[in-house]
Structure 1
Amino acid sequence: MNSTYFKATIREITYSWGKFISIVLIILLGSLLYVGIRATGPDLDNSADRYFAQQNLGDLNVTSTLGLTNKDLSLIRNDKNVKTAEPNHMVTVKKSQNQVVQVYSYSKTAKLNRLKLVSGRLPVNENQIVLDDKAKSDGYKLGQTYTLPKMDGLKSKSFKIVGFVNSPLFVSSTDRGTTNVGSGEVDYFAYAPSRAFDQKAFAMIAVRFNNTSGLTAGTSKYNKRVNCDQDRLESKLDARPEQRRAELIEPELAKVNQRLTQLQRQAKQLKAVPAQYQSTTTKAAAKKILAGISKLQAAKKALQKTPQATYLYNDRTANVGYQDYFDESKSIAAIAVIFPGFFLFIAVLITFTTISRMIEKNRREIGLMRALGYTKGFISMKYVIYSVLAGILGSIAGGVFGTITLPKFIFGMLSNNNLTQYHGVIPWAFIVEALVAGLVATLGSAAVVLMINLREKPTELMRERAPKAGKRILLERIKPLWRRMNFNQKVSYRNLFRYKTRMIMTIVGIAGCTGLMLAGFGIRDSVNDLIPDQFNQVQHYQGIVTLADSNKQIHDKNIQSQKSAMVQSVTVAPTKGIKRNATVTMIAPQSTAHFEKYVSLANPKTGKAEKFTNTGVILTEKLATDMNAKKGTVLSAKLGNKLLKVRVAGITKNYAGHYMYLTPKYFNKVSSTKYSPNSRLLKLKSETTQSRHHTSRNVLKQSGVLNVTYPRYANSTLGTVGLSSVVLIFIALSAALGLVVLYNLTNVNISERMRELSTIKVLGFYDNEVTAYVARENVVLTLAGIFFGWFIGLILHHFIMIKAQTGAILFPLTVHYPGYIWSAVLTACFSLVVGVITHYKLKNIDMLDSLSSRE
């Protein structure tokens, strides 16, 4: 008997393959997106962590404006938390008018920041060099002679190219950072053996701590540990800036003073000779000595003006492309909590409806078995097996397929970095969650409906449920409208409102899928609008010139206007309860007049312009949110080795980056150093690539100019490449779910109304009229679903984009009209496709079987 009943279960599947497969597909799509997207964030982090571990990327780079010595190296190595510390030389070379290269030292015995060989081999002799793999695009090849202009720091200017490499210091595949040489942008890097350098001081010291090896790169635990180790190291080297200055200038001052004393003695001796005895030669010698004294005195003054060394401690976030990569990972992880969850919810809802209707359809069979004496548990087994089989097949297949495909696909889409090896982890927790959701949808719905039906008496179950009584609907009370409807239209509207549960479930299913698609298009719009909105609505200047002389004026025919300002990078310490610091660009214009032409300071809530005040600073919105700050909050800002206490006077709208705006008077009030502008904000007449490069070259030739940058055209993607690839997946899978949901709901609708449809065919309706009879209802439900779906999509989009705001990014909450159109068009197309399939199914209805007595 058990065998017979099991065969009946199999027949239930084989006789309705379409229904069973649609249930499996719905669960599969939901599980695929849920597991695949949720696993992407951890897989991206794991791939990066494996790459950095293989290349042994340092945790910290220590640099100094006056170079580093063996004394610095010894102090760092003696720190109890330092595992490895390695010194490196580096020179920045303007190889040609349009090409800037940074040459680093390479040691075969080095343990940190290992190079990854792309082609060729690593250098052995001091006349050999390896280039950045990016340099291939400039035409460099293995075996070529590579010539650099003669300069201090390198022994030779001619090298042989023996290989092309990637460096873990540069995660980005395109961006190589900025410099104060040439155009201001580094084109590529190179590595030559340490013996090729003749620098006395080191350019940087790479540090690896002994307590970070078990922590995954990019995580908050890792960042917090490095911050603690960095603070300890800074304290240990606290006296070094002053000592380093003394080490450099005291020997030189001693030489200058010694020579000055000698010349002054000689001058005194010559002065003692009476004028009548001084020959022409003697007078010339005296004049030469006086010129030498003047020159030495000027040199002495210059040495005394040498600024104190500034020691910089750059963690991995300062590496080009590093933070962008992890910001993308965090944004994807944030979205993965919401979008796939809602996607799975829609899948569960539709599956619940399908399973419950299937059991409801088999009421007679359940009643007959109850009358024959079968237990409730035995009767339930058929539906339990059916439900569990559909749930497990869909969940496991979707989970496994999502794990294998989506994270790897998204990783491959992140083409703007040098991480080429994907290392995934099996997301057991997410697979289990998807399996539980799938079983809740199938087994849960079966259990609920079975419990309701099995409570009824067998005689009641064996009878058909009485059809719902016809009653007037709201449209009938609007008589002018009702009278103008034909018979078919009246029947369709009566059917819609007669079966309210079917109508609501269909609208919810269609609305959910439309909403998912609209949210996907909205995410794309927000990602694409990030840069344009930042530089059209907020920042109106195109370039920043860094100066050595605060009074320097910049000249170029492409410059429309310029604004003198102090631009400094500061670290803002959090308020109580916030764990991480933030790197902030502090801008203090020399004059606040007409500053709105360069930056719009609009309050994000009221839209009104924030005004400069001498009693506080204006923070950007995302920074204020991260720091839990509001008007009146006092924050700590670290500028170099000085700590500033600043009060928040206003909050302004901003999309990319953290900024702090203040007046010179307020800066002088909170800082021990006097305000001095060090930059010019530039507005350009032409922003074309050629115009910008031409302006950079002209400006950098002017004395006192250190650097030129164009924030809008920087190579950083601000963590949006990964989101763009995720959006494509969201839209594609949402569309697929929409198609399956529409097919499934229509299929269930037809199977429930087989007798009704057969009756109207017997009454003389043609095939096209029968199809139109059903299609009219579907059209109304589809339009209603699209309309409500837009509202769901807007809410979902806003919720997702707020959660995706990681790092210094605040996405604009915009959905452009093509998103509404495409989500509606796709849903309408799927409804049309399902309508065509339905037409052929209705043509093949067997009227005799459908109308035969069921009593």
Structure 2
Amino acid sequence: MTKRLLLLNTWRELKGSLARFFSIAILLGLGVFVIVGLKSTGPDMRETAISEYQKENLADAQITSPVGFTGADQKAIRQRSSVKTVRFGQMTDVQLKGRAVRVLSTPKTLSTVTVVSGHLPKKQNEIALGTQLEKTYRVGQTITLDGKTKNSKPARLAQRRFKVTGFVKSSEFTRKENLGTTSLSTGQLTTFAVVPKGSFTSQTPNLARVNFKPVTGQAYSKTYEDGVNHQITEIQPFLNHRAKLRRNQLLSDVNQQVKQGQTQLTLLTQQLTLAGQQPAKNQQIKQLQKGLKSATSQRQSIRAITYPIKSRNDYNAGYSAMGANAQRVDVLSDSFPIFFFAVAILVCFTTMQHMVAEKRTEMGTFRALGYSKSESVFSFLTYGILSAVLGTVVGAYLGSTFLPRAIYRAYTADFNYGSLQLQTHWGVIGVAGLLALGCILAAIWSSAYPALKEQAAQLMLPKPPKGGSRILLERWTWFWRRLSFSHKVTARNLFRYKGRMLMTLSGVAACVALLITAFGIRDSLNNIVTVQYRDIVHYDLIGVYNPDSSAKDQYLKTAQKSSQVKRSTGLYTETVTAKNSTLLDNQSISLLVPQNEQQFSQQLSLRSATTHRQLTIPQNGVIVTQKLAKLFNLKQGDTFTFKSATGHAYHVKVAGIAEMYMGHDLVMGPHEYRRIFDQKFVPNAQMIQLKNRRSATINQMARRLTRQSASETVVESNDAKQMIETVLTGLNQVVLILIVASSVLAFVVLFTLTYVNVSERIRELATLKVLGFYPNEVDLYIFRETIILTLVGILIGYGLGDWLHAYIMTVLPPEMAMAQLSLHPANFMVSTVITLLFLVLVMVVMAKQIRRIDMLGALKSVD
């Protein structure tokens, strides 16, 4: 019977205060939703990617050779103690109607492909295309592949025409576009394809996929990434030695050809002279001279042969991008949930304390009737636990399903990964549930425990009101006397109920801070594009060519004299890397050595990251860009170490730090280049700015350059823009979700605190109505305090939002980018308007409740 009465009492309490019950559940649910959702999404994204890597047995690393691996090379690599598995294959880049396509021999065991439709090619004239082209071509269609120029035969392939047998996807090419760099088309790969091994003219493989024995752990873990990087560092000197042996062999062959050619040329010249003919006018002398020139040029190319090895992060753009995306969500999960839960806990704490205080007389009645202390607070405990459980269950469900899916869809819009594999993260859910439940129990305990120590007779009496006291404002008599009665009451009540005042200020400030930060994330990243490509980067593309090619002059003519070109300047460039113990991945750095500093400054503004003053390229030392300096904790005068493609380490002195928001650059002068690398400075690229800077014009110029026989690759400045836009696209929906969640939090906070305020002061409001105050005056008696506290909370939220935004924008951008720590005034305005709209809505709802107050019932004494 006792339990039945307690349950009936709990049910009556629940029905009589549904608004309060659901507001508590929503507050706790929001906190659980955000913490479970953001904490689950990063691991779910990584697990989804890892399952595909494991399914296709994605290689730990790739080794490439421009001239192929000899049998001795293959045997030596297989016999390395650290190599678990190595598979050799063929690779070449071709063009398909202007698109750059990487054609691979079909992998069998390492980095295999998954058939999406059709089947894998079996015959020499069959091909399976990447899913990037699934909407452009169909199974059974015949396609024609081109080489460097239209209608030219692709390098290393036995034929040009292939029949499409199917469409495949691969963990090596998970992005839908910009799959890597190439020497064809615009310089960017758009897709890949696989063909049988017999489709290649040479059986000498030029690609090796490797798995290492000592490497443990899953992809993206520190154990795995550090293990792979360590193995690459260990094996690179060995590969350098193999490349040196191959260079020596090829140079020996070429030198012998040159020697034979020179002998033939000498003999033929002597014969023609004795015969009375002019050697300079002979199709045979000229052919020999042309062959000697070609062989001499070939010797220069041979000297540049290397066997570079790259980890997944370096050879697979999609792999590193997916890891970076998951890491961004991890960063958000370390900050946003704290604010959500802090606000939810504060407001719930206040609400439950008010409920316990409100039921003080009821507790006294239960105690007088002989109920135990635990039975006296049974309704509070049940009420609070039910709201915490409801909020946790709903928040955890939506946080485990809806939020991860929404974020995953946003971040993988540019990827070919499969459906998100949702995991149930019981640990995170358990912590969130305990926080919610602990908040409720702590609030009940802190209020009920002191009350239960009193006698039943005392509990049945209303709690004596707080004693009045003069506030500081009253001491300013000149100002105080000019305040109306209502304003004086408002001023006293603001400082009389300090706990409620602090709760309102904290709740509103935190909600405004969350809104400002959410809006500011996107704007800060948008500013990268504006500043980077308006004030710093002025070139449109960098064309990299072979300086030893006999067609170099024709290339330079195209790069410098074309009608589309506004200005062009020569430089030397190559990609180098650097890493420290705090980074999982090698950082890819563009080494730039300008031929003419004045012309270079028109293409790229090197200005101080702190003063924005123009930097001069030093005779000794280098200039590094600011994100690189931040990652390696560099300052002017420090020594920085980087590695070339062959793994050789170089040490340079940092002479300046330049402003840059996307990518890592390292700039040095020709004098420093000769000193560091101990070799002659020879430009190998042209930095070009076009008259018309539209994407179509840039792509057109890139194609003109790659068609030149001396071309090696083209790098468009738009590539970095597209990377930023991809980041923005992924963040848009995340930010939208956070804005909606923050808005709901702001509304529930204002509603709950106002509801508590009105409930606590029913007798005051009834007294005012009895005394003849107008309805609007009665409303403002309460709302004036709420308006003041909300406005002050908004102002506090400005400062808190600025700090939170600065923190998130410091840790959120990927390692290759950084954001401007600036907030648009519109962010503050929109956040303020949203909060004030919710305030108005709350006041409209609560005004109706105030009008329905039963004056007689409220004024009845409980004595």
Structure 2 length normalisation: TM-score? Answer: 0.91
Cα deviation code 1:500-532 (max 9, x no counterpart): 322221122122111111111111212322333
Q: How does 1:491-530 map to 2 (within 5 A)?
A: 491-530=489-528
Q: Take 1:79 and 1:695, find their aligned partners in 2: how far apart are those partners?
A: 45
Q: Does 1:683 align with 2:689?
A: yes
Residue 210 of structure 2 corresponds to residue 215 of structure 1? no
Q: Is the 8 A contact 2:173 2:191 kept in 1?
A: no
Amino acid in structure 2 at the alignment position of 1:219? S
Counterpart amino acid of residue 33 in structure 2: L
Distance 1:595 1:175, change over 3 A: closer
Which position in structure 2 is the counterpart of 1:617?
A: 622
2:184–2:707 contact (8 Å) kept in structure 1:
no
Deviation at 1:153, TM superposition (A): 1.8
- Asked if the contact 2:541–2:702 (Cα under 8 Å) also holds between the matched residues in 1, the reply is no
Structure 2: gaps (5+ residues): 146-150
Deviation at 1:651, TM superposition (A): 2.2
- Alignment of 1:828 with 2:836, yes or no, is yes
Is 128-137 or 706-715 further displaced after alignment? 706-715
* Aligned equivalent of 1:572, options 571, 578, 593: 578
State the shift of 1:469 in Å: 4.2
User: How big is the shift at 1:761?
Assistant: 2.2
CA separation of 1:349 and 1:480: change in aligned 2, threshold 3 A: same
Shift of 1:444: 1.0
Cα shift at 1:482: 5.5
**Are 1:648 and 2:654 matched, yes or no?**
yes
Question: Partner letter of residue 73 of structure 2?
Answer: D
Which amino acid is 1:84 matched to?
T
Deviates more, 1:728-737 or 1:151-160: 151-160
Q: Does 1:23 align with 2:24?
A: yes
5 Å-filtered alignment, 1:116-127, equals: 116-127=114-125
CA distance, structure 2, for counterparts of residue 324 and residue 167 of structure 1: 15
Asked if 2 retains the 8 angstrom alpha-carbon contact of 1:117 and 1:164, the reply is yes
- 2:341 matches 1:349: no
> Aligned with 1:202: secondary structure?
coil
> What letter is aligned with 1:836?
V
1:166 aligned residue (165, 169, 186): 169
Aligned equivalents of 2:258, 2:188: Cα separation in 1: 38
Q: 1: CA distance between counterparts of 2:213 and 2:251?
A: 36
Cα distance in 2 for partners of 1:646, 1:629 equals: 12
Q: How does 1:115-514 map to 2 (within 5 A)?
A: 115-137=113-135, 139-148=136-145, 149=151, 150-212=153-215, 215-251=217-253, 253-254=255-256, 257=259, 294-295=289-290, 297-308=292-303, 309-317=305-313, 318-371=315-368, 374-414=371-411, 415-473=413-471, 486-514=484-512
Question: Secondary structure of the residue that 1:68 maps to in structure 2?
Answer: coil
Distance change >3 Å, CA 509–CA 267, structure 1 → 2: closer
Which shifted more, 604-613 or 170-179?
604-613
Asked if structure 1 preserves the Cα contact closer than 8 Å seen for 2:365 and 2:456, the reply is: yes
CA deviation profile, 1:566-612 (whole Å, cap 9, x unmatched)? 222112243x7777642211222223336543333343344444443
Worse-matched range after superposition: 314-323 or 364-373:
364-373
Q: Distance in 2 between matches of 1:398 and 1:640?
A: 49
User: Deviation of residue 336 (structure 1)?
Assistant: 0.8
Code of the aligned partner of 1:65? P
Task: Give the AA of the match of 1:10.
Answer: W
Kindly indicate whether residue 748 of structure 2 is the aligned counterpart of residue 746 of structure 1. no
- Contact 1:329–1:722 under 8 Å retained in 2: no
Deviation, 1:827, is 1.0
Give the counterpart of 2:851 among 828, 843, 853: 843
**Cα separation, 2, equivalents of 1:265 and 1:472:** 117
1:629 paired with 2:634, answer: yes
| In 2: Cα distance, 1:677 partner to 1:266 partner | 37
C-alpha distance in structure 2 between counterparts of 1:289 and 1:357, whole Å:
105
Conserved in 2, the CA contact under 8 Å of 1:131 and 1:189? Answer: yes
Q: Deviations over 1:379-433 (max 9, x none)?
A: 3444333333322332233123211221122111220111122112222221122
- Normalised by the size of structure 1, how large is the TM-score? 0.92
> Are residues 1:797 and 2:805 paired?
yes
Q: Distance in 2 between matches of 1:252 and 1:599?
A: 41
Kindly provide the CA deviation profile for residues 540-566 of structure 1, in whole angstroms up to 9, marking residues without a partner as x.
322212132388462223322233222
Kindly indicate whether residue 91 of structure 2 is the aligned counterpart of residue 87 of structure 1. no
Please identify, of 248-257 and 801-810, the stretch whose mean Cα deviation from structure 2 is larger. 248-257
* SS of residue matched to 2:95: strand
Q: Give the secondary-structure state (helix, strand or coil) at the position aligned to 1:67.
A: coil
In structure 2, do the counterparts of structure 1 residues 249 and 600 end up closer, same or farther at CA, with 3 Å as the change threshold? closer
Residue in 1 that maps onto 2:716: 710
Is the partner of 1:624 in helix, strand or coil? helix
**What residue ranges of structure 1 are gaps of 5+ in the alignment?**
none
Counterpart of 1:4 in structure 2 is: 5
2: CA distance between counterparts of 1:270 and 1:596? 55
Cα gap change, 1:774 to 1:643, in 2 (>3 Å): same
Q: Structure 1 residues 34, 304: closer, same or farther in 2, change over 3 A?
A: closer
Check the 8 A contact 1:546/1:678 in 2, yes or no.
yes
Seq. identity, %: 32
1:557 corresponds to which letter in structure 2? S
Name the residue aligned to 2:744.
736
Asked whether the equivalents of residues 258 and 296 of structure 2 are also in contact (C-alpha less than 8 Å), the reply is no
> Whole-Å Cα distance in 2 between the matches of residues 93 and 2 of structure 1?
80
- 1:737: how far off? 1.0
- Give the SS at the match of 1:189: strand
For structure 1, which segment, 692-701 or 60-69, has the greater mean C-alpha deviation from structure 2 after superposition?
A: 692-701
How many angstroms apart in 1 are the aligned matches of 2:490 and 2:432? Answer: 38
Comparing 408-417 and 258-267, the one that deviates more:
258-267
Q: How much has 1:434 moved relative to structure 2?
A: 0.7
**Mapped contact 1:128–1:159 kept (Cα < 8 A):** yes
**Is it true that 1:808 corresponds to 2:842 in the alignment?**
no
Distance 1:216 1:154, change over 3 A: same
**Aligned equivalents of 1:291 and 1:687: distance in 2?**
44
- CA–CA separation in structure 2 for the residues paired with 1:450 and 1:285: 111
User: In structure 2, what residue type is equivalent to 1:725?
Assistant: Q
User: Do the aligned partners of residues 450 and 68 (structure 1) sit closer, same or farther apart at CA in structure 2, a change above 3 Å counting?
Assistant: same
Helix, strand or coil: the match of 1:66?
A: coil
Deviates more, 1:583-592 or 1:490-499: 490-499
- Whichever residue aligns with residue 305 of structure 1, its letter is Q
| 1:536-547 paired onto structure 2 within 5 Å | 536-547=534-545
Map Cα deviations across residues 286-326 of structure 1 (whole Å, 9 max, x no partner).
96775565455445534443432111112111313322221
Give the 3 Å change call, closer, same or farther, for CA 266–653 of structure 1 in structure 2.
closer
Residue 280 of structure 2 contacts residue 286 of structure 2 at CA under 8 Å; is this kept in 1? no
- Give the Cα–Cα distance (whole angstroms) in 1 for the partners of residues 302 and 472 of structure 2: 84
Instruction: Write the distance in 1 (CA, Å) between the matches of 2:382 and 2:101.
Output: 67
